[in-house]
Structure 1
Amino acid sequence: LDCTLGKEGTGPLDLVCLVKGSGYPSTLPQTSISKRSSNMAVNVFSTSSTADNLSRHDLLSWINDSLSASFSKVEELCSGAAYCQFMDMLFPGSIQLKKAKFSTNLEHEYINNYKLLQSSFKKMQVDKIVPVDKLIKGKFQDNFEFLQWFKKFFDANYDGADYDAANMRGGDQLGSGRGLGGGGGGSASSMPRRTVPSKPINRPSLGRAPATSRIGVSNKASPGAAPRHNATNQQVEDLTNQVVEMRLTIQGLEKERDFYFGKLREIEMLCQDDEEGGSAAPVQKMLDILYATEDGFAAPDEEVPPPAEDEEY
């Protein structure tokens, strides 16, 4: 069930819903979603629909491109600095950007950034609770979920105006400085390389040469062990993040499956009841069931539905 906002009128916006696979929209008037005014943001809510959700790499690329930043991991967003600058981009003057700490690893400065963000949310009437205690711990899942929500919020409010992010934050670096290439995507290019001397090292053969040779071999092998160990840890961390990301996707799909199955079950029971009474099932009741919404299903941007394509197996 795809929902989107209709055109603005004199009253509250209408929520237009479209059942996937059909071309019949239904308008639900008098919804709780109100028009955006000059001093109020368009609110969005988390959704279990995963069709429009971007991967963590896509989201990081979007942030780095938009803010001239160099984040390599979702966990780095725990400082809250990126969200502060995004609010300055979306709503100029809504946040005291000069008080934000962009290059910091201190938890109390993370909290300061989130206080600025919450103050900006309150000013722009953004109905979102920021889980500061979870975000500042730098865990992937918590930061990834908040980032997914913020991307939807950004898309609903961005007017396309130009913004010089680096200049607005005074040239401060935002991110680890490694970008996506240094974040550990598991590729060989991101792994440390061992340096091999161009010429063999000649050692004197006087005295206890065999013992010296053994020591030399041991010292020569140890530098290579650290890069291999670091690369292995990075690969494990990257795979763990992928598992968490896939688990979130599965949870969303399961919730969406149960949502639509419940609708079909209600229609089935309605048809069975009317069949016993000898009359056809009322169309309006079935439409009410199909277009009903519940918490957790948001209204995405209005898009022209793509033509149906044959699936190949």
Structure 2
Amino acid sequence: MAVNVYSTNVTTENLSRHDMLSWVNDCLNAHFTKIEELCTGAAYCQYMDMLFPGSVPMKRVKFRTNLEHEYIQNFKILQASFKKMSVDKIIPIDKLVKGRFQDNFEFLQWFKKFFDANYDGKDYNALVARENNPMGMGSAASSKSALAGPTRRVIPAATSTPRVVPAAKPIAKAPTRPAATTGLRASNSTPPKKQDSIGNHHNATVTNQQMEELTNQVMDMRMNLEGLEKERDFYFAKLRDIEILCQDADDTEPQPIVQKILDILYATEDGFAPPDELTPPDQEEY
């Protein structure tokens, strides 16, 4: 039987979406390019086969697909394996198959903790276990071209910048130093302009790469922030409902347990102080 885990989208590891995606691709020899593509459900089916051999009918799993009804079929297979291994987790199939980032990221975070609690460290060849079927999003017929797509986009980006650097050296060596010292300063002004333009182009390329990396980091932090805010609002609404029920019960039939619940709700830690409310600026001053 499986070891059940209960966690929110905030785990002790605090892995980013890139780390989580790398974990999936490395473990399963898969080719997912973003978290949203885990909506196929195939990765979780194979993880269950890795953790509990025989719990999943692997031949029925659609490992590479882009059809929603096949996503649903994969998650139903996963749900059946959960029931077989006494896993208490309820799979939000309707949300996951829509391919939204937040829903799939939260489920992946839970599954990572579930995996860590149940994995015994034994060797597992994911590719052989699924009979060399490719895993990812897309049609099985176009697997080769789809899998080659991401790598071909990365390679030109990496080789384009080094080509600019060697080109700058011959231009810098073209004007001879003795000719520059004879007194014709005007002839020396032209080559540096070409070198500067190439150098500026190289600097601009580096800057664009850095900006792209920073933009990705900002997007990651924004996604994490949105997840935390969503979780905060979710639990605050639950606490508010409990508070209302306790207050209504206190007015009708006061019971000691109700007062204890209210005491817990209103208790604060030592040194805790609520944030000061922002006062609106004085509109009369200009």
Which has the greater radius of gyration?
2
Give the TM-score normalised by structure 1.
0.49
Q: Which residue, 246, 267, 271 being the options, matches 1:267?
A: 246
Shift of residue 122 of structure 1? 4.7
> Aligned equivalents of 1:286 and 1:250: distance in 2?
29
The one of 226, 231, 234 aligned to 1:252: 231
Counterpart of 1:226 (choices 190, 202, 205) is 205
| Distance (Å, rounded) in 1 between the aligned partners of 2:74 and 2:193 | 59
In the alignment, the residues of structure 1 paired with residue 221 and residue 251 of structure 2 have an alpha-carbon distance, to the nearest angstrom, of 45
2:55 is aligned with 1:96: no
**Structure 1 SS opposite 2:174:** coil
Report the Cα distance in structure 2 between the residues aligned to 1:87 and 1:100, rounded to whole angstroms: 15
With over 3 angstroms needed to count, the CA separation of the structure-2 counterparts of 1:68 and 1:216, relative to structure 1, is same
- C-alpha offsets along residues 116-175 of structure 1, whole Å, 9 cap, x if unaligned? 73352254256521646532xxx643431331343355467x363624245656899989
Deviation at residue 236 of structure 1 after TM alignment: 1.4
Give the Cα separation in 1 of the matches to 2:232 and 2:201: 47
Corresponding residue for residue 14 of structure 2: 55
Aligned residues: 225
8 Å CA contact retained: 1:111, 1:132: no
Equivalent residue for 2:155?
none
**1:198-237 pair list within 5 angstroms:** 201=170, 202-204=173-175, 210-237=189-216
- AA aligned opposite 2:124: D
Q: Does 2:122 correspond to 1:162?
A: yes
Q: What is the aligned partner in structure 1 of residue 74 from structure 2? A: 117
Structure with the greater relative contact order (CA < 8 A, sep ≥ 6): 1 or 2?
1
Tell me the C-alpha RMSD between the 2 structures: 5.2
Alignment-mate amino acid for residue 75 of structure 2? Q
- Confirm or deny: 8 A CA contact 2:9 2:106 kept in the other structure: no
Structure 2, unmatched stretches of 5+, are 84-89, 137-146, 148-157, 180-186, 264-268, 274-286
Show structure 1 runs of 5+ residues with no match. Answer: 1-35, 103-107, 177-190, 275-280, 291-308
1:143 aligns with 2:113: no
**TM-score by structure 2 length?**
0.52
Match of 2:139 in 1: none
Larger deviation: 57-66 or 265-274? 57-66
Deviation at 1:229?
Answer: 0.7
Deviation at 1:239, TM superposition (A): 0.8
1:240, 1:112 → 2: CA distance?
30
Deviations 1:286-312 (A, max 9, x none): 78999xxxxxxxxxxxxxxxxxx9778
Give yes or no for the alignment of 1:282 onto 2:255.
yes
**Alpha-carbon offset, residue 249 of structure 1:** 1.0
| Structure with the bigger percentage of helix | 2
- Identity level (%): 27
Structure 2 CA distance for aligned equivalents of residues 100 and 285 of structure 1: 51
SS at 1:141 equivalent: helix
- Please give the alpha-carbon distance, in whole angstroms, between the structure 1 residues aligned to 2:188 and 2:133: 54
Note if contact 2:46-2:58 (Cα within 8 Å) is conserved in structure 1.
no
Equivalent pair of 1:81/1:113 in contact (CA under 8 Å): no
* 1:250 Cα deviation after fit: 1.8
Structure 1 residues 224, 113: closer, same or farther in 2, change over 3 A?
Answer: farther
Three-state SS of the structure 1 residue aligned to 2:98 is: helix
Q: Deviations over 1:249-283 (max 9, x none)?
A: 12212221232233234333333434xxxxxx334
Is the Cα–Cα contact under 8 Å of residues 101 and 113 in structure 1 kept in the other structure? no
Residues 60, 73 of structure 1: 8 Å contact kept = yes
